[in-house]
Chains A and B, each alone.
Chain A
């Protein structure tokens, strides 16, 4: 980036723009393996006005903008693959208001998800979306990716809690959508449009989120199975029995072992698969449903089903589960995970398909995920230096996507399309579906400066991508 451009960005942000080689390198990646590219500058605005000025300036200069929270993205959504400005929100990280009358919280995008959850829980309120990266991720990132989490089954995902947004559009105008409203049908639902837009339609600068009362009690249980299909069948059986637990997580043997190696919380190393089940609500109802779920698991062949004895033990189990993806990185240099999602009733079929596909392509795939949501994370452990194996990994994942779609599912449940899954988007949407999305993108961002290459794939502008 030339000095004039950097000077302007510094001028707008009172000096909070930089472009040393170290800065650019430190923001050249996110949590996605295989994607890395240098931006031209890293800028930390302090307000929506500053964001607006940056957007106007970048648009006039044709500089791409990549909004980035904490860079935990898993689909290369925040990797600056077209260069440009990486926009940070570390100066816009305040919880502005917790409204106990309307049960809402208003935040700036840079607030860490877990800090938000803790702050509202202090007031006896509950913000359910809890992505595994919640200790690190920002709420702005969660909204842009429409993140899920472990409590999605019963409570839904981020979009179910976004009531209103303030956003800077690609022309620099600032819009406000929604509000502290339970009902609002004034025109198109722009709140929902911007939620999950992966930063391709604008920059979120403030959000008002829905809160709900904190459930009065919570119980956690671990069920162990000697076969993967038994665990998968138990998931379907629980839901068929009209029980919606808060959490219904699945881990296979390889994942259990890697997680236990890191977390040392006493996970059963002899099990082929486990289900981590949590239910919350009124105590009597929780007790009844936990008992019923225990019976269902046993009927499906669980050889052990045990309740966590203390809140600490329960918390440790959940925290351990959140580390699953990174813990798998212990096993091989490269971990590539997917996010294919199927209707809940098809989980068992999907698990079986993954096993077959892995065998067919001779790759190692470990599977864990939000079984109750039909959202599995088949994760391939491999070595990016082995090109031949990488081709087989790619082929295996293509087949997994195809199978997910055949079962009525999707290519990504909660990680976003980003650049990584852009080549497969058409499989899910069809040409006409993609066309509608492209029309929306082009009308709002005709110069394609907002997070280019994401969702729709590479623009013509080629960049040298560094690293493996």
Chain B
């Protein structure tokens, strides 16, 4: 079978036809904007290409594949689509088909192999890798390497990323038994740790748990959970993603929890899409639907339990803004809650930055495989940051957080602006 035949067979025709080409998606699409209004790099254009290949009207050309590669997968086109086209699903299926048939470049292969197959599926590996980063940072190796200029061999964005990686805390074993709510108990939540959050951002996880407990949540942390599989799914590695989905569903199934809660928008939206991922599987479909129904971002749970009305944090006077996580906003529909939580902090002078709901260009491994577009988007984002002039940028997803740190570095704002995760921000000075 050819890749074109696979498009005919596997792409969801109903969903393709659901796009009525009105163009309402265009102003929301970061790559359409960045390319000066090039329809090739718009959701409508991409769907037209998928459909034309599906309909057997054209072979899949390199330019078409490139158009799909350049898509951030931010899904900003979904909430603005009156027809309700599930663009993310179409993109993922198209990428999976292309991945099944096309040879990736050597550079892409290396990134894929190390990041997708080795690092993310295996938490132990992630521990070790992040442990290495810590060793690298604390042993003096970092200084040495920077001096030799070894990093010049890597793309600019990766080199800069190295500078902004957070200082990795020494790994502490999380106590896996039940953690009790502080004060009156209102709900039991099962905590999804995530792979990156559990290693590089351990402290953020601990802070999230602390906040949830003070909102009246008992916390259980199921054993056996792992990476959500989003990076794999978005990159067209569907089989791998399914494997990880099943593992997570199994791990959380036995828990008597009201909600499954996490603090990474990218993972959350993916977990909430497990039912679609497993829709072809009669046995797992139902289990995935039950799992999905419980997924919540921690900010929603805090607001739901009146946390913002009961708890007050005090910080010294500062100007603060919020950068949406695309998948938290467009995938899970959560965007009021983080803003509401920030504004409850005493001393917070909240300012909404222009285009705060636009992607920052991080988009999973996008900043590694599409560095040019990613940096173009990021540099535009930083112009808006400069205009809003905050001292703090709050985000709700690890990828966005690292990207914002990188943006601060690139814009020469280090020392004036800091980027923090919402869970770390919600604290007293």
Contacts and interface: CB of A to CB of B under 8 A. Distances in A.
The SS class assigned to the A binding surface is loop
A325 interface: yes
Pick from A26, A88, A93, A467 the residue with the most CB of B within 10 Å: A26
B37 interface: yes
Contact of A334 (B17, B52, B61): B17
A387 B133 CA distance: 62
B23 A467 contact: no
A21 B81 contact: no
Contact of A70 (B17, B26, B51): B26
B19 to A, nearest CB: 8
Given A90-B36, A326-B82, A330-B83, A31 B63 contact: no
B63 A20 contact: yes
Given A21-B59, A325-B82, 17 more contacts: A20-B61, A21-B61, A21-B64, A22-B40, A22-B67, A26-B45, A28-B48, A30-B21, A70-B26, A71-B21, A110-B37, A133-B23, A136-B24, A259-B82, A262-B84, A327-B83, A333-B17
B42 interface: yes
B20 interface: yes
Contact of A466 (B24, B49, B57): B57
A31 B21 contact: yes
B55 interface: yes
Interface of A: 20-23, 25-33, 70-72, 88, 90-91, 93, 110, 112, 133, 135-136, 259, 261-263, 323-327, 329-330, 333-335, 384, 466-468
A25 B58 contact: yes
B86 to A, nearest CB: 12
B22 A31 contact: yes
* The 9 nearest A-B residue pairs measured at CB: A326-B82, A329-B83, A22-B63, A26-B45, A90-B37, A323-B82, A26-B39, A327-B82, A333-B17
A326 B37 contact: no
Interface in B23-59: 23-24, 26-27, 36-40, 42, 45, 48-49, 51-52, 55, 57-59
B18 interface: yes
A380 to B, nearest CB: 13
B60 to A, nearest CB: 9
Contact of B39 (A21, A27, A326): A27
29 contacts: A20-B61, A21-B63, A22-B61, A22-B63, A22-B67, A25-B45, A26-B38, A26-B40, A26-B42, A27-B39, A31-B20, A31-B22, A32-B21, A70-B26, A90-B36, A90-B38, A135-B24, A262-B82, A262-B84, A263-B82, A325-B22, A325-B82, A326-B83, A327-B83, A330-B84, A333-B18, A466-B57, A467-B52, A467-B55
Given A329-B82, A467-B57, A25 B49 contact: yes
B14 interface: yes
B24 A326 contact: yes
A282 to B, nearest CB: 32
Contacts of B40: 22-23, 26
B175 to A, nearest CB: 42
A21 B84 contact: no
Pick from B14, B42, B52, B82 the residue with the most CB of A within 10 Å: B82
Contact of B81 (A27, A31, A325, A326): A326
A379 to B, nearest CB: 11
A17 B340 CA distance: 48
A333 B26 CA distance: 20
B49 A26 contact: yes
Pick from A22, A136, A261 the residue with the most CB of B within 10 Å: A22
A21 B62 CA distance: 9
Nearest to A30: B21
B52 A466 contact: yes
B94 to A, nearest CB: 13
Given A27-B39, A329-B83, A135 B14 contact: no
A458 to B, nearest CB: 21
A133 B22 CA distance: 8
A336 to B, nearest CB: 10
Contacts of A135: 24, 27
Contacts of A70: 23, 26, 37
Nearest to B45: A26
Nearest to A138: B37
Given A22-B63, A136-B24, A467-B55, A91 B36 contact: yes
Interface in B73-125: 81-84
A33 B83 CA distance: 14
A323 B22 CA distance: 10
B26 A136 contact: yes
A22 B64 contact: yes
A317 to B, nearest CB: 15
Nearest to A20: B63
Pick from A71, A259, A334 the residue with the most CB of B within 10 Å: A71
A184 to B, nearest CB: 34
Pick from B17, B61, B81 the residue with the most CB of A within 10 Å: B17
Contacts of A112: 27
B259 to A, nearest CB: 23
A22 B63 CA distance: 6
B84 A136 contact: no
Contacts of B49: 22, 25-26
A87 to B, nearest CB: 13
A26 B41 CA distance: 9
Contacts of A323: 24, 82
Contact of B20 (A25, A26, A335, A468): A335
A349 to B, nearest CB: 30
Contacts of B38: 26, 90
A30 B42 CA distance: 13
Nearest to A88: B37
A326 B22 contact: yes
B417 to A, nearest CB: 28
A90 B48 CA distance: 20
A334 B83 CA distance: 11
Nearest to A326: B82
A220 B22 CA distance: 27
Contacts of B21: 29-33, 71
